[in-house]
C-alpha cells in the first residue's frame, strides 16, 4: 500500500529528476524521520591505544609500564584532562571535555572482543561482523536495521568512503558515498541507459548495487540543491571531519538516515607514538565535537559509538611505541546517552591482571555496548545482530 | 507483471550461473569455448586487452601465448614504452642516488636553524638541558661569547629555559624574534613573491594559458629567474604540463616527485608494456608485500623496493622474493624492524656522556607478526604469539644504515639478540647473528602453510575470489616440489581446467587500477600524461602505493562493489570516452556509425548479453547516439567491471 510519505518522497524524487527540488517536499516527505533514531558507528582502524587515549592516571603501574610514552597525569605540564579522579583524557582530546561535562559523552573502559586475535584484518572483520572468532558476510549494523518498507530511504544506511565497510554489508540496502557534492552522474543522457542496464543485469552483485546507486543519486541530487553550512561554529577538520560533515548534512536534510558509518585510520603506532597520536586524536576529538555542535538538538535522536579492533600492549615496546594488544576503550556520544561516566570494570595493570601477562584485559564485551544501543536506541532485538551473544547485566549507557 | 519479471530474471540467473558471485562452484569443471578462452587469458594475465591483442592470441594459440607471458624475456618490448619512461629520471637512479638528489631540502630553502648546543662541551649541554640548577645554567650562559649566546637563546629547548629569571626569558624571546625576522628577509630575497617577479599578463598566461603558452613563458626567463618563478607558481599551476610540473615539484617537494614518478612508471608500464603478466605480477606482489608511501622515508625508498626487490623475483623462487623484501630498507622502515633491538633487559645499559644511563630501543614485534600473518603462513597458518616474539628477536639487528642519508641495509650485531630462539619448533642456537633471520626466512619459505597460503592468494587473483580447493592444493604441491618456483606454480594454475572454466569466466571484479587501465587499453588511447589517471584511481579508492596498513588492497570484489564505486566508475568511463581526462587522447572514430552491439562486442571482446543490448538500444531510440556516448556506456556497464 502506498503511504502518503511514499508518495511525497516519490514526488520529491521525480521533481529532483527534473531539476528542481524544493526542500519542503523532502521535509514534508519525511515527517517521521525527525524522530527517527540514528546510530552512527566509527571505526578506528589500526588498533588504537586505549591506554593513552583515556589515561588511567590513578594507576602508578601505568607510568612504570610506559616510562617514555605515558601521558603525564592531570596538573603536570602537557598533562591529561581529569574526568573522574581516576581516568583522564589525552590532552589532544580537550574538545571532548565539554561533552563529558554536559553528560553527552560516556566512556567504556577495558572493552573489546573476547577473541584473543591480534591480526588487524581478522580482528576488524570479526568486530564488524559482530561475531568474535569468526567472520560473516554481513555486518552487525546491517543486521540491526529493520526490514525495509515502501517509505524506507535509499540512504537509510550510509558509509562515507570509496569502499563499503563490512559493518554495513548485508541484505539491507546500504550505500557508500565519498563526497555528496560529487555524487552525481556526469553524463546525464547516459544515466537512463545505465540505470536500465544495471537494473536488468543478471550480475547479482553489481546489479543490485547499481539499482541502489541510482536511487541514492536522485535523493542526493535534491539534497545538493541547497548549499550546506555547518552551524553553531562547528568546524570540521581533516578527512574524518569531512566524513562526519557529510553525515551531518544528510541527517539535517531529513534524508531518512538510520545508520551511518565513518572511519579513521592510522592508529598502528609501533614506534614514536607520542609523535603521532596527538595529531590523530586532535582530528578525532575535534571532528566529534564539531559534529555534536553542528547537529544541535538533533543529537537527541543520535547515538554515536567508536571502536577499534583491539588495544595495544600495556607496556611500551622498544621504540617508543606499543605492539598489538587486547582490551581498549569505546566512546558513546549522543543526546540519549547517560554520559559523564566511565563504564566497565577496571581489570588493573599488575602482571597477573593483564591478559596473557601483557595486555589490558577485556572485562566488557564490545557487543554488550553495541547491543544496548541496538536494543535501547534502535529498538531491535540483540540476538539476530549478535548471534549467540548473551548480554549480562545492562551497563545502562542510555537514559531511560 | 512484476512477479513474472522477477521469475524471468531468476531463470536468467540460473542459466548464466557464472555471473553470480560465489555461485560458480561446480562449474569449475566446464571448459570455456576457445573463443572465450582467448578473451579470458587476456582479461586475467593482462591489464585488459588492446584492440589488436585478441588477434595475437589467436595467431599464437592460447597455450603458446600463456607460455610467452610466463617468459617475458622472449617478448620484444614495446618501443613506445621506453619513450614514455625516459623523462622519469628518478627511476634510472640507484637508491643512494635517489636519497642524494631528492632527500635534500628543496633547492633554495634556508638551512634549518641549527642550535649551537651540539658545539658545546657535553658537561655544559648536560647542565643546560638535563636537570642542571638555575645557577649552573646561568653560569654556562655567562661563559659564552655573545654570538653563541644569542643563537643558543634563539633556539633554546623549553627544558633549558625552565626556571630561568625573567630577564633571560625576555632576552630569549628577543633573540628568537630577531632570528625569525632575519630569516624572513633572507627568504624574501631568495624567493620573491610572484607579483614582484612577473607582470600581471605573464601571471595570467602562467595560470590560465595552454601548455604551450606556459612552456614558452618559462623558457623566456633566465635560469635563475625561471627557478624563482616556477617555484613560486608551484606544481598546482602546471597540472597540465608534465615537464614543468616535475620541475616545480623538484623545487618545492622533491620527495613527492620521486613518488609521483614511480606512479607514472607504474601506469605507463601497465598501459604500454608488452610483458603484461610481468606488470600484473609486480602489482600483485607489491600489494602482497605492501609498503605505504606516506610513512617517512618510504616515499623515496619505494622506487628501489619495486625495481630491485620485487620485479626481479616475480618469476623466481618465493624464498628469494621473501628475502629481498625482508632486507629492503623500505620494508625494514615500514614495519619498524630497522629499530627493533634485543629486549632491553638482555643487554648492558649504555651510559651517556654525563654518566647517566641512556634508555636504548628494545624489541618491536611489528615485522615478525606481519611476516607470518601476511607474507608467508597466513593468519591461520599455525603460529603463536610466542613465535611472533621469537621471530622478532631473530630479526633484531636487521637494520638500515642511516635511513635519512644512505638508506642501505646493514646488519648491526651490537643490537642483535644473541640468545637461543625457538621458531615454529625449530631451535636457533645462540650467537649466530644475521644467520638467525636467514634461518627464519628459510623456515617460513618452506613451511606447508606458506605453500598453501601463497597458492591461494595467487588463485584468488587469477581464478576466483573463492578459488576451488583442489586447484589450490595442486598449486601448493607444485610449490613444495619445486622449492617455491613461482613460475612453476603459475604454470600449474594457468594450465588447469579450473582456470579455463565457466566457473572462472568473468568471476573477478576489476580493482580501480584494473578498471581504469583496461578502459584506456580497450580504446587504444594515447597518454601524454598519466597524472590525471592516477588521481582517478585514487578517487575510486585505490591510491597507488598509498595503502596505510600492511594488508594491502583487497584481492576480492566485495569491497569494490558499492554505490560510490559504481558511480565513480560510471563517471570515469564517460569522462574518458568523451576525451575529458587530461593527458589521455581518445579516438573513438572507429565506432562511427556502428550499432550498439558492435561497439559493445568490440570493447568487451565477446557478444553483449541480450539485456545489456536492449537497454542500450531502447535508451538511444530517437536520440543521436554518438560513438563517445556509446563507448562511455559500455565502459560503465556491469560487464566491463569484470574480467
A318 closest CB neighbour out of B335, B364, B618: B364
Note the pLDDT of residue B506. 95
A200 closest CB neighbour out of B540, B611, B632: B611
Q: Which of A7-21, B191-205, B360-374 comes out lowest in average pLDDT?
A: A7-21
Question: Residues B444-494: pLDDT tens digits?
Answer: 999 999 999 999 999 999 999 999 999 999 999 999 999 999 999 999 999
Q: B618–A323: do the CB atoms touch at under 8 Å? A: no
Integer CA distances (angstroms), B393 to A6, A180, A195, in order: 64, 49, 57
Q: A176–B609: do the CB atoms touch at under 8 Å? A: no
A318 closest CB neighbour out of B341, B540, B559: B341
Note the pLDDT of residue B16. 40
Question: Residues B399-425: pLDDT tens digits?
Answer: 999 888 888 999 999 999 999 999 999
Asked if the model's pLDDT at residue B9 lies above 80, the reply is no
Higher pLDDT, A147 or B334: B334
All cell numbers assigned to A37: 533514531
Mean pLDDT along residues A198-216 = 92
Higher pLDDT, A180 or B116: A180
Integer CA distances (angstroms), B483 to B376, B462, B474, B489, B538, in order: 14, 21, 14, 10, 37
Q: A200–B564: do the CB atoms touch at under 8 Å? A: no
Q: A162–B568: do the CB atoms touch at under 8 Å? A: yes
Note the pLDDT of residue A4. 37
B564 neighbourhood in chain A, CB within 8 Å = 161-164, 175-178, 183
Q: B339–A196: do the CB atoms touch at under 8 Å? A: no
Instruction: Tell me which residue has cell 557529510.
Output: A246
In which element (H, E) is residue B154 found?
A: helix B146-154
Interaxial angle between packed helices B596-604 and B627-636, expressed in degrees from 0 to 180 and rounded to the nearest 10: 50
Note the pLDDT of residue B21. 43
- CA-based nearest distance B159→chain A, Å: 11
Q: Which of A261-265, B238-242, B350-354, B542-546 comes out lowest in average pLDDT?
A: B350-354
Note the pLDDT of residue B13. 41
Give the mutation candidate from B337, B347, B564 for the A interface (greatest A CB count, under 10 A). Answer: B564
Using CA atoms, how far apart are residues B522 and B510, in angstroms rounded to an integer?
A: 14
B561 neighbourhood in chain A, CB within 8 Å = 164, 205-206, 209
Note the pLDDT of residue B107. 61
B19 closest CB neighbour out of A183, A203, A321: A203
Q: Which residues contact B113 (CB under 8 A, 6 or more apart)?
A: B154, B155, B179, B183
Instruction: Evaluate whether ipTM surpasses 0.85.
Output: no
Note the pLDDT of residue A9. 52
Note the pLDDT of residue B20. 40
Mean pLDDT along residues B317-338 = 97
Asked if the model's pLDDT at residue B15 lies above 50, the reply is no
Using CA atoms, how far apart are residues A320 and A273, in angstroms rounded to an integer?
A: 6
Mean pLDDT along residues B108-117 = 74
Using CA atoms, how far apart are residues A81 and A76, in angstroms rounded to an integer?
A: 10
Residues A44 and A124: beta-carbon distance below 8 Å: no
A123-156 burial code (b ≥16 CB/10 A, e <16)? bbbbbbbbbbeeebebbbbbbbbeeeeebbbbbb
Class of residue B208 by CB neighbours under 10 A (exposed 0-12, middle 13-18, buried 19+): exposed
Note the pLDDT of residue A17. 46
Strand partners, A365: A112
Strand boundaries in chain A, DSSP class E: 38-44, 54-55, 81-82, 88-89, 105-112, 157-160, 175-177, 259-264, 302-308, 328-333, 342-343, 364-365
Residue of A nearest to B359 (CA): A68
Note the pLDDT of residue A20. 41
Question: Residues A4-43: pLDDT tens digits?
Answer: 344 445 544 554 444 444 343 454 455 454 478 999 999 9
Q: How confident is the model at residue B128 (pLDDT cuts 50, 70, 90)?
A: confident
Tell me, yes or no, if B557 comes closer than 8 A to chain A by beta carbon.
yes
The neighbour count for residue B256, using CB atoms within 10 Å, is: 16
Q: Which of A314-318, B159-163, B235-239 comes out lowest in average pLDDT?
A: B159-163
Note the pLDDT of residue B123. 86
Residues A173 and A156: beta-carbon distance below 8 Å: yes
Residue of A nearest to B563 (CA): A213
Q: Work out the angle at residue B597's Cα, subtended by the Cα atoms of residues B501 and A208, and round it to the nearest 5 degrees.
A: 60
Using CA atoms, how far apart are residues B593 and B141, in angstroms rounded to an integer?
A: 86
Note the pLDDT of residue B486. 98
The pLDDT > 90 percentage for chain A reads 83
- Report pTM: 0.85
Note the pLDDT of residue A29. 52
A185-224 burial code (b ≥16 CB/10 A, e <16)? bbbebbbbbbbbbbebbbbebbbebbbbbbbbbbbbbbbb
Note the pLDDT of residue A186. 87
Interaxial angle between packed helices B512-522 and B531-539, expressed in degrees from 0 to 180 and rounded to the nearest 10: 140
Note the pLDDT of residue B108. 62
Mean pLDDT along residues B190-217 = 91
Note the pLDDT of residue B441. 98
Higher pLDDT, A45 or A187: A45
Compute the count of residue pairs across chains A and B with CB atoms less than 8 Å apart: 204
Question: Residues B25-81: pLDDT tens digits?
Answer: 449 999 999 999 999 999 999 999 999 999 999 999 999 999 999 999 999 999 999
Note the pLDDT of residue A18. 42
Note the pLDDT of residue B191. 81
Q: How confident is the model at residue B359 (pLDDT cuts 50, 70, 90)?
A: confident
Question: Residues B486-525: pLDDT tens digits?
Answer: 999 999 999 999 999 999 999 999 999 999 999 999 999 9
Question: Residues B549-559: pLDDT tens digits?
Answer: 999 999 999 88
Higher pLDDT, B534 or A28: B534
Of A327, A308, A330, the residue nearest A167 (C-alpha): A308
Instruction: Tell me which residue has cell 572511519.
Output: A263
Tell me, yes or no, if A206 comes closer than 8 A to chain B by beta carbon.
yes
Amino acid at each position: 500500500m502506498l503511504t502518503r510519505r511514499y508518495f511525497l518522497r516519490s514526488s520529491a524524487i521525480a521533481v529532483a529528476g527534473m531539476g528542481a527540488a524544493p526542500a519542503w517536499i523532502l521535509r514534508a516527505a519525511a515527517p517521521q524521520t525527525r524522530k527517527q533514531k540514528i546510530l552512527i558507528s566509527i571505526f578506528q582502524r589500526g588498533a588504537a591505544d586505549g591506554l593513552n587515549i583515556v589515561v588511567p592516571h590513578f594507576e602508578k603501574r601505568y607510568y612504570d609500564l610506559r616510562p617514555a610514552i605515558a601521558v603525564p597525569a592531570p596538573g603536570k605540564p602537557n598533562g591529561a584532562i581529569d574526568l573522574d579522579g581516576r581516568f583522564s583524557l589525552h590532552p589532544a582530546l580537550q574538545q571532548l571535555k565539554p561533552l563529558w561535562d554536559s553528560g553527552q559523552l560516556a566512556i567504556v573502559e577495558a572493552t573489546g572482543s573476547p577473541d584473543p586475535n591480534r591480526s588487524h584484518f581478522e580482528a576488524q572483520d570479526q568486530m564488524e561482523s559482530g561475531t568474535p572468532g569468526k567472520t560473516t558476510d554481513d555486518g552487525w549494523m546491517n543486521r540491526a536495521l529493520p526490514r525495509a518498507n515502501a517509505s524506507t530511504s535509499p540512504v537509510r544506511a550510509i558509509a562515507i568512503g570509496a569502499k563499503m565497510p563490512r559493518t554495513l554489508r548485508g541484505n539491507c540496502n546500504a550505500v557508500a558515498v565519498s563526497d555528496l557534492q560529487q555524487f552525481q552522474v556526469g553524463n546525464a543522457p547516459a544515466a537512463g541507459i545505465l540505470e536500465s542496464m544495471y537494473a536488468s543485469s543478471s550480475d547479482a552483485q553489481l546489479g543490485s548495487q547499481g539499482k541502489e546507486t541510482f536511487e541514492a543519486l536522485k535523493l542526493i541530487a535534491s539534497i545538493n540543491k541547497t548549499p550546506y553550512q555547518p552551524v553553531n561554529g562547528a568546524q570540521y577538520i581533516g578527512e574524518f571531519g569531512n566524513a562526519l560533515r557529510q553525515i551531518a548534512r544528510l541527517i539535517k536534510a531529513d534524508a531518512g538516515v538510520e545508520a551511518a558509518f565513518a572511519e579513521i585510520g592510522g592508529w598502528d603506532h609501533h614506534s614514536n607514538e607520542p609523535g603521532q597520536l596527538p595529531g590523530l586524536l586532535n582530528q578525532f576529538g575535534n571532528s566529534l565535537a564539531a559534529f555534536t555542535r553542528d547537529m544541535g538538538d538533533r543529537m537527541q535522536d543520535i547515538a554515536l559509538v567508536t571502536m577499534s579492533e583491539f588495544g595495544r600492549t600495556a607496556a611500551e615496546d622498544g621504540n617508543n611505541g606499543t605492539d598489538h594488544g587486547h582490551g581498549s576503550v569505546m566512546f558513546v556520544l549522543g543526546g540519549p546517552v547517560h554520559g559523564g561516566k566511565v563504564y566497565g570494570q577496571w581489570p588493573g595493570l599488575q602482571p597477573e591482571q593483564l591478559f596473557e601477562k601483557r595486555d589490558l584485559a577485556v572485562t566488557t564485551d564490545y557487543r554488550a555496548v553495541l547491543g544496548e544501543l541496538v536494543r535501547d536506541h534502535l529498538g531491535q532485538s540483540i540476538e539476530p545482530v549478535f548471534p549467540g551473544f548473551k548480554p549480562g547485566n545492562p551497563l545502562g549507557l542510555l537514559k531511560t | 507483471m512484476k512477479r513474472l519479471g522477477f521469475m524471468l530474471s531468476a531463470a536468467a540467473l540460473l542459466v548464466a550461473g557464472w555471473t553470480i558471485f560465489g555461485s560458480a562452484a561446480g562449474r569449475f569443471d566446464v571448459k570455456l569455448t576457445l573463443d572465450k578462452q582467448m578473451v579470458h587469458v587476456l582479461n586475467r594475465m593482462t591489464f585488459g586487452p588492446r584492440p589488436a591483442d585478441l588477434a595475437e592470441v589467436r595467431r599464437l594459440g592460447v597455450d603458446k601465448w600463456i607460455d610467452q607471458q610466463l617468459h617475458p624475456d622472449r617478448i620484444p618490448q614495446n618501443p613506445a614504452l621506453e619513450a614514455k619512461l625516459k623523462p622519469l629520471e628518478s627511476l634510472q637512479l640507484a637508491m643512494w642516488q635517489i636519497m642524494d638528489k631528492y632527500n635534500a631540502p628543496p633547492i633554495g630553502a634556508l638551512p634549518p636553524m641549527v642550535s649551537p648546543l651540539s658545539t658545546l662541551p657535553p658537561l655544559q649541554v648536560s647542565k643546560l638541558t638535563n636537570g642542571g640548577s638555575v645557577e649552573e645554567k646561568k653560569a654556562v650562559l655567562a661563559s659564552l661569547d655573545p654570538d653563541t649566546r644569542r643563537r643558543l637563546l634563539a633556539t633554546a629547548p623549553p627544558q633549558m629555559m625552565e626556571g630561568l629569571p625573567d630577564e633571560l626569558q625576555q632576552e630569549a624571546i628577543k633573540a628568537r624574534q630577531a632570528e625569525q625576522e632575519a630569516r624572513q628577509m633572507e627568504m624574501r630575497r631568495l624567493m620573491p613573491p610572484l607579483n614582484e617577479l612577473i607582470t600581471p599578463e605573464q601571471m595570467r598566461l602562467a595560470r590560465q594559458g595552454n601548455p604551450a603558452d606556459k612552456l614558452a613563458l618559462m623558457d623566456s626567463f633566465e635560469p635563475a629567474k625561471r627557478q624563482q618563478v616556477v617555484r613560486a607558481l608551484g606544481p598546482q599551476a602546471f597540472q597540465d604540463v608534465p615537464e614543468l610540473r616535475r620541475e616545480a615539484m623538484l623545487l618545492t617537494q622533491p620527495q613527492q616527485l620521486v613518488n609521483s614518478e614511480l606512479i607514472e612508471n607504474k601506469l605507463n608500464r601497465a598501459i604500454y608494456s608488452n610483458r603484461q603478466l610481468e606488470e600484473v605480477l609486480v602489482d600483485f606482489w607489491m600489494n602482497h608485500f605492501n609498503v605505504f608511501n606516506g610513512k617517512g622515508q618510504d616515499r623515496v625508498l619505494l622506487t628501489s623496493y619495486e625495481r630491485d626487490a620485487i620485479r626481479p623475483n616475480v618469476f623466481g623462487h618465493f624464498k628469494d622474493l621473501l628475502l629481498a623484501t625482508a632486507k629492503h630498507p623500505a620494508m625494514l622502515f615500514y614495519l619498524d624492524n630497522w629499530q627493533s633491538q634485543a629486549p632491553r633487559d638482555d643487554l648492558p645499559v649504555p651510559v651517556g656522556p654525563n654518566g647517566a644511563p641512556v634508555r636504548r630501543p628494545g624489541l618491536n614485534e611489528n615485522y615478525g607478526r606481519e611476516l607470518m600473518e601476511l607474507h608467508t603462513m597466513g593468519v591461520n597458518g599455525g603460529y603463536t604469539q610466542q613465535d611472533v616474539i621469537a621471530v622478532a628477536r631473530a630479526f633484531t639487528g636487521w637494520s638500515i644504515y642511516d635511513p635519512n642519508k644512505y638508506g642501505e641495509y646493514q646488519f648491526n650485531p651490537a643490537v642483535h639478540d644473541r640468545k637461543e630462539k625457538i621458531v615454529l619448533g625449530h631451535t636457533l642456537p645462540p650467537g649466530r647473528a644475521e644467520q638467525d633471520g636467514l634461518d627464519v626466512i628459510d623456515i617460513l619459505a618452506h613451511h606447508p602453510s606458506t605453500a598453501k597460503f601463497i597458492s591461494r592468494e595467487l588463485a584468488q587473483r587469477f581464478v576466483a575470489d573463492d578459488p576451488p580447493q583442489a586447484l589450490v592444493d595442486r598449486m601448493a604441491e607444485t610449490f613444495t616440489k619445486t622449492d617455491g618456483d613461482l613460475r612453476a606454480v603459475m604454470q600449474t594454475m594457468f594450465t588447469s581446467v579450473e582456470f579455463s572454466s565457466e566457473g572462472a569466466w568473468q568471476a573477478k571484479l576489476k580493482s580501480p587500477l584494473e578498471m581504469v587501465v583496461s578502459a584506456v587499453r580497450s580504446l587504444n588511447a594515447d597518454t601524454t600524461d598519466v597524472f590525471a589517471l592516477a588521481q582517478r584511481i585514487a578517487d575510486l579508492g585505490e591510491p597507488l602505493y598509498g595503502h596505510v596498513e600492511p594488508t594491502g588492497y583487497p584481492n576480492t570484489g566485495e569491497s569494490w562493489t558499492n554505490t560510490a564505486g559504481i558511480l565513480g566508475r560510471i563517471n570515469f568511463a564517460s569522462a574518458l570516452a568523451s576525451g575529458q581526462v587530461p593527458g589521455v587522447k581518445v579516438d573513438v572514430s572507429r565506432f562511427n556509425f556502428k550499432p550498439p552491439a558492435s561497439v559493445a562486442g568490440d570493447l568487451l571482446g565477446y557478444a553483449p548479453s541480450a539485456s545489456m543490448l536492449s537497454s542500450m538500444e531502447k535508451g538511444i531510440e530517437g536520440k543521436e547516439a554518438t560513438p563517445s556516448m556509446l563507448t562511455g556506456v559500455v565502459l560503465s556497464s556491469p560487464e566491463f567491471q569484470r574480467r
